[in-house]
Structure 1
Amino acid sequence: MTVIGAAGRLYIDGAWRGGQGAMRDVVNPATGKVVTTVPDATPAEVDAAVDAARRAFDSGAWSGLSGRERSRVLYRAAALIQEHAEELAQLETTDTGKPIQFSRMVDVGNTVTHFEYYAGLAYSIDGATRQTGMPALAYTVREPIGVVAAVTPFNFPMILSTSKIAPALAAGNTVVHKPAEDTPLTALRIAELLTEAGLPPGVLNVVTGGGPVGESLVRHPGVDKVAFTGSTAVGRRIASAAAETLKPVTVELGGKSAQIVFADADLDAAGQAAVSGFVFNTGQFCMGGTRLLVQRPVYDEMVTRVVGGAVHVPVGDPLSPETVVGPMAGQRHLDKVRGYVELAASEGATIAAGGGRVDTLDGYYFAPTVITDVDQGSRLVQEEIFGPVVTVQPFDTEQEAIAMANGTSFGLAAGLHTRDVARAHRVAGKLKAGMVWVNTWGMLDVTVPFGGYKQSGYGREYGPEGLHEYTQTKSVLLPLT
């Protein structure tokens, strides 16, 4: 496996550039061993990346191309990523600890799809003619915004970066990408592959490092738009910083999603969805179903099913194709999850399954954990844990279930299980979430937009809506007399 051919360097203006800042270890969370090092970009290097993106945009080397010409490059990028699929999957698993089967099928697969889908949409960026009361021809056009700062988290490095980069490039923008400090390797490799596909120098730049690097990028006067995925706390700071220069912002933030099981549900399917909903990606999934709400007549049976499923989830070496749950992304993430479970015990909740570190394995492993007898006001219910932990609560009526599901500050996703089609539509309409699943969990497709309500953010990714986030509308009026 190629780790990265440019350890200790940044990708700026189409080439590797030696990092002048302090070096940061990239650690394999499955072993705790250092894989390579990357630099914390200095303010001068952030300036250089933004300047390169600005020159590339203003020159028209990319923004001046037709949608068809941009599309061809993005299709080539998709083909190159597919050609290097195994290399990228190995990098992603080494960097994040996620199971290799997920890296191959979910992460690389979706990355290829992002570029293919937005390559197709690059053809269809258009405006409209408008009827007016004036003797004039009036029409609108959609134009690229300019230099986009994409700041992305550690849990899905490829997916959450290319869900921004692909539509931004399709619309004609240039990009400076700041990946998570812990998981930068695929971002650097993909930037190299996009240059090979024909992306002009400066159109995509990658600067690595911690929070100060991202903040300097967000505040930079040369950046025209910010796209961020991460925690709600950091999202607030980014939105505030971007407001200083009135930059438009897309923020996809935290979640605390409820999965409701009604008594008439298919309990086999609901049980499978409940387990997969909280262990997927080792629970490091902002749309994870981490709150299970079960109607009282089937509550005990569902708890038994979920506990039985959780204890049999394969936990282990992420390079093994049998593994479903790998290690947490790092020590601080492991400590955070362990702290919440200790809180549950102190509050009198029941740890029905799991509840601790997997000591038989090296690395940052935490056992899939099921917690019952927890109050709605508990921090375990109200705060994002971001690990393989689910709380289970009973309810009696449909109205109570809706109130409990909506009873947090988040609104990223929600779901319900029922055989009653009328109830499915009725409840889905009352759930305050940007994505609602019925009789399933976690289905996502690049054609279907997602994003948050409430403290889960604003703006949308995926679909044509995701492309429109990277354009601005201009109106043109031409007198006809």
Structure 2
Amino acid sequence: MERRSTAIAERQTDGDLPPGQLFIDGGWRDAADGRRRDIIDPANSQVVTAVAEAGDQDVDAAVDAARRAYADGAWRRMSGRERGDLLLRVAALLEEHRDEFARLESLHTGKPLTIARAVDMHHTIDHFTYYGGLANQIEGATRAIRTPGFAYTLKEPLGVVGAITPYNFPLILSTTKIAPALAAGNTVVHKPAAECPLTALRLAELCAEAGLPAGVLNVVTGGEEAGAALSRHPGIDKIAFTGSTRVGASIAAAAAETVKPTTMELGGKAAHIIFDDADIAAAVDAVVTGFVFNSGQFCMSGSRLLVQRSCHDSVLARVCEAVARVPVGDPRDPQTAVGPLAAKRRVESVEHYLALGEGRIVAGGHRIERDGGYYFAPTVVADVPNDARIVQEEVFGPVLTVQPFDTEDDAVNLANGTRYGLAAGLHTRDVARAHRVAGRLRSGIVWINSWAVLDSSLPFGGYKQSGYGREHGPEALDSYLQTKSVFVPTTADEAR
């Protein structure tokens, strides 16, 4: 019999915040050892709540709940249409609670409320809508073989998925994993970022309200200890991770101990190329948006600007002028385009890179003192060599480096000249050049005369040390399925 969640009856708050507990087997519980972690509002550095800090024992409990839910079969034996219908109910509830989720997302990340509502909620809802529709299209196939008999394939869920997600887009990057994993019939244990777990907890509760059986989606809040326990746990059948390359490498190594597959969406150092025949005004708008969006805390941030030498100086001047007009401020103010960084350590990291003195700061370069929050001015650095750390390493803040190039080959070599390969973009009016250069860029997604256009149907992922596997699209759904082959003989001889 299907076990329904008790989470709604157990709500212990007035609705403004989810309970600061772990969500396991359809209900709320404290960490086994009682530990808790403060959650900070980056706009003013004030504590807004505290949540449970999961340890090994809590991860064991969550994995056990997910394994029981998988084993009893109520979820995985549903037809794809039935699972899809439930995901569509989740999407409808998210739309109904759009403002609530946007406020929570803004509260614990510092991103502007208007962006959380328009961008983060749009993509979150779309993930459940898209995979709700795709769930009914999970199909095997018959195969023609030489041996007399009937052969076919089945697509089956992997089992229990461990999802580990970062702080910059908590809702979006959680649902890029949770929605396809559930559509495929898996159960999930989700470990959100330690700093930003509130929307993950509320999402689990909302899924229970939509009718998701208890134990199918579990959330363990906490830091690296919980993430490491999940990665190495023998009861987990796959790990899906988004985060830094350093942490991703350690998680992949831990997962390898039990030979579990992984999807890794890791760091980026995206190049944004402007050729001298481009629409310069439109290109500059895309460049500025591309590096200040989400305060630069975006793995696909266009943090490296490559400009053809003949227009380099004029483009640099325009970029600096545009940056000076970017509204930085209180994320609750509807006029704000850039809010604070998500944590004090992020500000300190940006300052560290700028203190290296690699290049010439031509815009920004300083903290913004406001209400004790973690604000940093959008910053442009020119005259920077390609081997500089600020060019080669992921700063993860609102910092843009600008470099000139002469030829198309130069642009491609510079763009490909880091260990990353997650995203890239180029601006040109020459259609042949656009396709030619896109084909040469070693990047999982390339935008032409645009930036950061993402859709649930369009896969993205990394080349090189930006990871492997793809999120979005049917490619993501496939990564949560395994293929079984079945053979039935059609002659007596073969049957023997």
Which range, TM-score by smaller chain?
A: over 0.9
Q: Take 1:195 and 1:216, find their aligned partners in 2: how far apart are those partners?
A: 25
Which residue does 2:9 correspond to in 1?
Answer: none
- Is the aligned partner of 1:383 residue 2:396? no
**Corresponding residue SS for 1:26:** strand
Amino acid at match of 2:417: G
**Corresponding residue SS for 2:402:** strand
**Corresponding residue SS for 2:442:** coil
Contact conserved, 1:136 with 1:480, CA < 8 A, in 2? yes
> Could you tell me which of 274, 278, 288 is aligned with 1:261?
274
Q: Take 2:263 and 2:367, find their aligned partners in 1: how far apart are those partners?
A: 35
Q: Take 1:248 and 1:318, find their aligned partners in 2: how far apart are those partners?
A: 38
% identical aligned pairs: 61
Q: Take 1:52 and 1:78, find their aligned partners in 2: how far apart are those partners?
A: 24
Which residue does 1:441 correspond to in 2?
Answer: 451
Which residue does 1:309 correspond to in 2?
Answer: 322
The residue correspondences of 1:224-235 to structure 2 (distance < 5 A) are 224-235=237-248
Aligned length: 477
TM-score by length of 1: 0.98
Contact conserved, 1:50 with 1:176, CA < 8 A, in 2? yes
Q: Take 1:19 and 1:67, find their aligned partners in 2: how far apart are those partners?
A: 34
Runs of 4+ in 1 over 3 A off after TM superposition: none
Contact conserved, 1:3 with 1:35, CA < 8 A, in 2? no
Superposition deviation, residue 134 in structure 1? 1.3
The residue correspondences of 1:309-388 to structure 2 (distance < 5 A) are 309-343=322-356, 345=357, 347=358, 349-388=359-398
Q: Take 1:398 and 1:109, find their aligned partners in 2: how far apart are those partners?
A: 37
Which residue does 2:254 correspond to in 1?
Answer: 241
Contact conserved, 1:13 with 1:203, CA < 8 A, in 2? yes
Superposition deviation, residue 361 in structure 1? 4.7
Which residue does 1:18 correspond to in 2?
Answer: 30
Contact conserved, 2:111 with 2:340, CA < 8 A, in 1? yes
Which residue does 1:417 correspond to in 2?
Answer: 427
**Corresponding residue SS for 1:411:** coil
Which residue does 1:221 correspond to in 2?
Answer: 234
Amino acid at match of 2:406: D
The residue correspondences of 1:167-206 to structure 2 (distance < 5 A) are 167-206=180-219
> Could you tell me which of 156, 160, 173 is aligned with 1:143?
156
Contact conserved, 2:130 with 2:456, CA < 8 A, in 1? yes
Q: Take 2:257 and 2:89, find their aligned partners in 1: how far apart are those partners?
A: 38
Superposition deviation, residue 136 in structure 1? 1.5
User: Could you give the per-residue CA deviations for residues 8-56 of structure 1, whole angstroms, max 9, x where no partner exists?
Assistant: x110001111223421000000010001001111211111100000000
**Corresponding residue SS for 2:336:** coil
User: Could you give the per-residue CA deviations for residues 162-200 of structure 1, whole angstroms, max 9, x where no partner exists?
Assistant: 010000000000000000000000000000000000000
Contact conserved, 2:329 with 2:340, CA < 8 A, in 1? yes
Indicate how the Cα distance of structure 1 residues 242 and 308 shifts in structure 2: closer, same or farther if over 3 A, else same: same
Indicate how the Cα distance of structure 1 residues 221 and 373 shifts in structure 2: closer, same or farther if over 3 A, else same: same
Contact conserved, 1:71 with 1:120, CA < 8 A, in 2? yes
> Could you tell me which of 259, 270, 273 is aligned with 2:283?
270
Indicate how the Cα distance of structure 1 residues 221 and 98 shifts in structure 2: closer, same or farther if over 3 A, else same: same
Amino acid at match of 2:272: Q
Amino acid at match of 2:388: S
**Corresponding residue SS for 1:400:** helix
Which residue does 1:468 correspond to in 2?
Answer: 478
User: Could you give the per-residue CA deviations for residues 192-227 of structure 1, whole angstroms, max 9, x where no partner exists?
Assistant: 000000000000000000001000011111000000
Q: Take 1:12 and 1:271, find their aligned partners in 2: how far apart are those partners?
A: 47
- Is the aligned partner of 1:453 residue 2:459? no
**Corresponding residue SS for 2:395:** coil
User: Could you give the per-residue CA deviations for residues 354-378 of structure 1, whole angstroms, max 9, x where no partner exists?
Assistant: 0010124530000000000000000
Amino acid at match of 1:462: H
Q: Take 2:149 and 2:307, find their aligned partners in 1: how far apart are those partners?
A: 60
Which residue does 2:403 correspond to in 1?
Answer: 393
* Structure 1: runs of 5 or more not aligned: none
Superposition deviation, residue 379 in structure 1? 0.3
RMSD over equivalenced CA pairs, Å: 0.9
Amino acid at match of 2:30: G
Amino acid at match of 2:63: V
Superposition deviation, residue 342 in structure 1? 1.2
Amino acid at match of 1:470: Y
Q: Take 1:319 and 1:207, find their aligned partners in 2: how far apart are those partners?
A: 28
**Corresponding residue SS for 1:408:** coil
**Corresponding residue SS for 1:188:** helix
Which residue does 1:164 correspond to in 2?
Answer: 177
> Could you tell me which of 49, 52, 55 is aligned with 1:39?
52
Amino acid at match of 1:76: R
Q: Take 2:163 and 2:313, find their aligned partners in 1: how far apart are those partners?
A: 45
Amino acid at match of 1:223: I
Superposition deviation, residue 3 in structure 1? 3.8
Contact conserved, 1:20 with 1:39, CA < 8 A, in 2? no
Contact conserved, 2:18 with 2:198, CA < 8 A, in 1? no
Q: Take 2:360 and 2:50, find their aligned partners in 1: how far apart are those partners?
A: 42
Q: Take 1:61 and 1:248, find their aligned partners in 2: how far apart are those partners?
A: 24
Q: Take 1:233 and 1:3, find their aligned partners in 2: how far apart are those partners?
A: 35
Amino acid at match of 1:464: P
